[in-house]
Amino acid sequence: MDFSGIKAVISDMDGVLWRGDTALPGLRLFFDTLRARGLPFALATNNSSKTQADYVRKLARLGVPGVPETAIITSGTATADYLRAHYPPGARVHVFGADGLRAVIAAAGFTLADSNVQAVVAGLKWDLTYDDLKRASRLIMAGADFIGTNPDATFPLPDGLAPGAGSMIAALRTASGREPIIVGKPHAPMFEAALAALHSAPAETLMIGDRLDTDIAGAAACGLRTALV
């Protein structure tokens, strides 16, 4: 790869910059290098459990202050954009996911509800219970649209891989008999959002990720250059 042709960088976060709350080697040097070379960057993650502000604070704790919220694209923010494009303001949405996803969907102007909903949005849920699965699957079976934030079957933690949003969405798919609309990587919306934030062309943008099936395959399909961690 001719790196001289790279004018912007998109990076995944979990498994690339850190595992859990542990920074991976070279984290601060990576951002120092981008800034020294004047390369604009965006951080695009399939993790929907945190808000953009959560990630800004985490980066600062790990020694990378000053990252603006606009540089953070999550499958949660991409899902909120999808909802805005397809549902009226205030539409009732059931969120099967973490508090961060709930906050993003509420901030986008939708009403969080557990009954009479137009859509069920499913993501990574740390405190998953049987009742959560039962409630969400019944809403989907009753006719609510089924929207998944991302298809990642696993999630990287310091002690190894753990079930990810894709595993939880698979349980809802099996229980309801319905196929979800998936918004996050490898699908185009997240890459398009990152490119728009960077004002860069795909062929001049490098995507760095740790998953061939989402980060790398999705970026390549959108015409970006790719690097696998």
CA–CA distance, 111 with 113 (Å, rounded to integer): 6
Strands 160-163 and 154-157: antiparallel
Strands 92-96 and 119-122: parallel
Residues with a known catalytic role: 12, 14
Angle at 66 between CA 60 and CA 68, to 5 degrees: 110
CA–CA distance, 104 with 203 (Å, rounded to integer): 31
162, two tokens: 């753990």
What is the DSSP code string of 97-163?
S-HHHHHHHHHTTPEE-SSS-SEEEE---TT--HHHHHHHHHHHHTT-EEEES---SEEEETTEEEE
CA–CA distance, 101 with 49 (Å, rounded to integer): 5
Q: Which amino acid is at 144?
A: A
